[in-house]
Amino acid sequence: MNILEIQGQSGISRILIGESLRNLSNYVPGAKTIIITDKNVSRHHGSLLSGFDLIELETGENIKTLQTVESIYQKLLEYQADRTTFIAAVGGGIVCDLAGFAASTYLRWLDFGYVASTLLAQVDASVGGKTGVNLQGYKNLVGVFNQPRFVICDLNLLETLPSEEILSGMAEIVKHAVIGDPELFETLERNPESALSLRKDLLEKIITASIQVKADIVNRDEKEKGERRKLNFGHTLGHALERTQSISHGKAVSLGMAFAVDLSVRSQLLSESEARRIKSLLFNLKLPVKTELDMALIFDAINKDKKRIGDTLHFVCLRGIGQPVITEISMSELEMVIHDLC
Ligand SMILES: NC(=O)c1ccc[n+]([C@@H]2O[C@H](COP(=O)([O-])OP(=O)(O)OC[C@H]3O[C@@H](n4cnc5c(N)ncnc54)[C@H](O)[C@@H]3O)[C@@H](O)[C@H]2O)c1
Ligand SMILES: [Zn+2]
């Protein structure tokens, strides 16, 4: 097992990579624990959840709403949760974001921890203390920063995960490698197939290295005042693609990263050869780097976010593998570049 720590304003979060859901009771403080999970996790791994009070949610991004949070509050009331009750989320990013937000607000704050059951939740969503829900189609518009007391990354849980979900996690791992860890990048370059087939020793290594990149950034900028923006690499375009093309988050982010790489070359920041290496790695991990896209639609989607992000947006480019640069780009420049590159 590998252990990493995040020092947040609300406390220390310990991330345990290679620990098992079976040992959950060793980490929850003495008093009553309520588990929040979803139907899929419960179907595959429910036997490991027996003995706890359970709140079982539906699945899918459209349950990430205040209504679901209210339904969690109602269950907490029924279970007579009090200040000493501990909330354990067992699930992917959706369960963690919802449970973390519900715990942070019920009785103004209940202590909570996560057992991350998807690759994406292990390397990304469970790490860093952002909790929250969507509002009127805007992602994660309502939320709070609050660190879970612990995050258990149980590698065995990933065996039941659909391959599309593995790809989504892989895209975030590549993102972390590209923005912060050239050695992780090389490890992935050497072993794409073993990574995809979830070879345990390799998996523990790449998950740990990937979390380390995010943890280091969060430790320096918990509240996203500057450096944390690096984590948006591939996501400006990625989110727009996800919304307009009905493709998975991982594929959208992969295309977003490929676009950011092209933009970096065009801006004379990144060499052609490094750009090729990044796109080859994505390709070898079965992630897309090229597609037929309706650019007008995508630009509209980015533009729709203008209300929220203002007239210029922060766009993460690269000077090299492991060297992200946050640039500011106006909406009209972006439109031109999208037009040129696609
Ligand atoms: N808080 C953050 O910093 C942060 C960062 C990145 C993403 N997120 C959020 O995370 C969410 C996406 O997370 P996700 O990709 O984990 O999605 P998810 O929670 O929807 O999980 C993906 C699917 O896998 C199923 N599942 C989960 N664990 C399983 C297992 N072990 N075996 C079989 N099926 C399993 C789920 O039921 C779901 O159908 C988004 O809402 C995103 O906004 C948050
Ligand atoms: Zn992402």
**Domain assignment present for 122:** yes
312 within 8 A of 331, measured Cβ to Cβ: yes
Q: Which atom of ligand 1 is nearest to the CA of 131?
A: 1
Is 190 catalytic? The answer is: no
Cβ(113) to ligand 1 under 6 A? no
**Domain assignment present for 183:** no
pLDDT score recorded for residue 306: 57
**Domain assignment present for 35:** yes
The CATH number for 99's domain is 3.40.50.1970
Is the pLDDT reported for residue 243 higher than 60? yes
Q: Tally the domains of the chain.
A: 2
**Domain assignment present for 189:** no
Is 44 catalytic? The answer is: no
Statement to judge: residues 121 and 262 lie in one domain: no
What range does the domain containing 225 cover? 215-341
Statement to judge: residues 152 and 264 lie in one domain: no
* CA–CA distances in Å: residue 76 to residues 107, 160, 214, 289: 10, 29, 32, 45
Using alpha carbons, select from 211, 209, 219, 213 the residue that is nearest to residue 7. Answer: 219
Statement to judge: residues 16 and 156 lie in one domain: yes
Q: 286-304: per-residue pLDDT in tens?
A: 999 987 767 777 777 777 7
Is 191 catalytic? The answer is: no
Using alpha carbons, select from 185, 180, 318, 192 the residue that is nearest to residue 259. Answer: 318
Cβ(219) to ligand 1 under 6 A? no
- Considering only CA atoms, which residue is closest to atom 11 of ligand 1? 93
In percent, the amount of the chain with pLDDT more than 70 equals 97
Q: 245-282: per-residue pLDDT in tens?
A: 888 999 999 999 999 999 999 899 999 999 999 999 99
Is the pLDDT reported for residue 310 higher than 80? no
Statement to judge: residues 244 and 315 lie in one domain: yes
**Domain assignment present for 269:** yes
The CATH number for 257's domain is 1.20.1090.10
**Domain assignment present for 334:** yes
pLDDT score recorded for residue 312: 81
Cβ(68) to ligand 1 under 6 A? no
Is the pLDDT reported for residue 156 higher than 80? yes
Is the pLDDT reported for residue 206 higher than 70? yes
**Domain assignment present for 190:** no
Statement to judge: residues 84 and 14 lie in one domain: yes
- Compute the Cα dihedral for 173, 337, 327, 311 and give only its sign: negative
